[in-house]
Amino acid sequence: MKVQPETLIEAYVYPLFMVTSDRELISAMCWGSIGLVVASLILQDSSPSSRSTSSRFLIPGRVARFLQDCPAFFIPMVLVARGKQKAYDSVVNQLCLGMFIMHFFQSFFTAGFVLFLYGMKINIGADSILRKSEMQSQLQLPKGGWFEKISCPDYFGEIVEMWGYALASLAPPALVLASTTTLLLARRARQSHQREQWEPSRILPTVCLPRQRDMAVGEVLPALNAAEAAVKLCPNWWVGLQTLGRAQLGLGEVDLAVKTFSRAVHIRPDQQELWREDLQWAVGLLKKYQEMNAEREKQIAAAKESGTEVPELPVPPVEGSIRERSIQMYQIQKQREAAEAGNPTVMERGKTIDPSKVVRMRVT
């Protein structure tokens, strides 16, 4: 026994939308789509797109998009192949439909068809550039084509396609589809544009690389501030975390540097440089300083028992006046933060920094 699609729609879809005819069903679905889009805009949920979000512990973006679009493709195909509408067999309906199409063929249909093809061209070109940029580097912004004019030409091309389809068909569902697509993709494009203002490829040449050169000449505090700003804007950017960890080492914050490098290694475990050089180096320094502190405590205890003066640790000279000024500025900044917080314990290492813990930075 073959079950017709119309029977399934009347049995399950009609009760879901509380309708009794196809006309009422189409109207309810159109208004429902508009309501969902308006609700999503009111909620102001800044959800990332499939091309900018991570697939870790999630469904891959391409698979999710394929599954999302499957019903919109297969359901109409089944309805056309298996469905039986008596209205199609009516000569009067066929004649009226043909007259309607012929009447608008030279205006709306032609303009909509051309607009649809133009949007398809923009969309295909943008997708091609996106695939090339993904293959080259994850830190590179797409260049060429419409990417030189707008941030998201793939979204723009899809919007043009939908309006071309709506103009060619002049059907209420097509107009609703074009309107909702415009609202949703315009919102995503605005969010993507805001993220691209601080893309790692733009921060890297203007902030992190110059700041690593600053560390070579001793300007450690500006390097630390720049790295903190970069990490705040891109929390999962491992290059910014690496720069921040090295700046923290330059100011003697070894325990913080270990935490920063550990976070970077967790994000990019394939970067052997982080594990073999930066993290192991910082862990070795931390163990060394812990041993020095333990030895210092033993010397203090022995001096108290013997009643002698506590010997001072040998302090190596600070590497240049610029480096010394950076350390002093860092101390003042920490003291100011602690004073504003009203709690001196906010400071990570007290009010002073031991110059013996200042690490010579390596430039990569």
Query: Rounded CA gap, 263 and 267, in Å?
Result: 6
Query: Rounded CA gap, 222 and 143, in Å?
Result: 31
**2-16, 145-159, 185-199, 220-234: range with highest mean pLDDT:** 145-159
Query: Rounded CA gap, 51 and 141, in Å?
Result: 12
Question: In the predicted model, what is the mean pLDDT of residues 225-250?
Answer: 78
For the chain, percent of residues with pLDDT exceeding 90: 4
Amino acid found at 282: A
Q: Say how many CA atoms lie within 13 Å of 59 toward its Cβ.
A: 8
**165-169, 260-264, 295-299, 316-320: range with highest mean pLDDT:** 165-169
Query: Rounded CA gap, 348 and 57, in Å?
Result: 34
Q: Mean pLDDT of all residues in the chain?
A: 70
Provide the 10 A C-beta neighbour count for residue 77.
Answer: 9
Evaluate if residue 267 carries a pLDDT over 80: no
Question: In the predicted model, what is the mean pLDDT of residues 157-182?
Answer: 88
pLDDT recorded at residue 118: 92
Residue-wise pLDDT tens digits, 60-73: 767 777 787 777 77
pLDDT recorded at residue 362: 40
Question: In the predicted model, what is the mean pLDDT of residues 214-238?
Answer: 69
Evaluate if residue 137 carries a pLDDT over 60: no
If one compares 41 and 103, the residue with the highest pLDDT of the two is: 41
pLDDT recorded at residue 6: 74
Evaluate if residue 160 carries a pLDDT over 90: yes
Across 255-266, b (16+ Cβ under 10 Å) vs e yields bbbbebbbbbbe
If one compares 93 and 59, the residue with the highest pLDDT of the two is: 59
Query: Rounded CA gap, 27 and 259, in Å?
Result: 57
Which pLDDT band, with edges at 50, 70 and 90, does 263 fall under? Answer: confident
Amino acid found at 230: A
If one compares 196 and 191, the residue with the highest pLDDT of the two is: 191
Residue-wise pLDDT tens digits, 9-46: 888 888 888 888 888 888 888 888 888 777 777 765 55
Which pLDDT band, with edges at 50, 70 and 90, does 213 fall under? Answer: very low
Which pLDDT band, with edges at 50, 70 and 90, does 59 fall under? Answer: confident
In residues, how long is the chain?
Answer: 364
Handedness of CA 197, 198, 204, 208 (dihedral sign): positive
Residue-wise pLDDT tens digits, 295-347: 878 877 887 777 777 666 554 443 344 445 455 555 656 666 666 666 544 44
Query: Do the beta carbons of residue 191 and residue 151 sit within 8 Å?
Result: no
Which pLDDT band, with edges at 50, 70 and 90, does 162 fall under? Answer: very high
Task: Give pTM, 2 decimals.
Answer: 0.42
Query: Rounded CA gap, 187 and 193, in Å?
Result: 10
What are the structural domains of the chain? Answer: 1-35+61-89 (no CATH), 102-197 (no CATH), 206-357 (1.25.40.10)
Query: Do the beta carbons of residue 175 and residue 163 sit within 8 Å?
Result: no
**87-96, 115-124, 350-359: range with highest mean pLDDT:** 115-124
Query: Rounded CA gap, 143 and 257, in Å?
Result: 35
Across 138-174, b (16+ Cβ under 10 Å) vs e yields eeeebeeebbeeebbbbbbbbbbbbbbbbbbbeeeeb
Q: Which of 18-22, 53-57, 242-246 has the lowest mean pLDDT?
A: 53-57
Query: Do the beta carbons of residue 248 and residue 211 sit within 8 Å?
Result: no
Evaluate if residue 164 carries a pLDDT over 80: yes
Query: Rounded CA gap, 111 and 105, in Å?
Result: 9
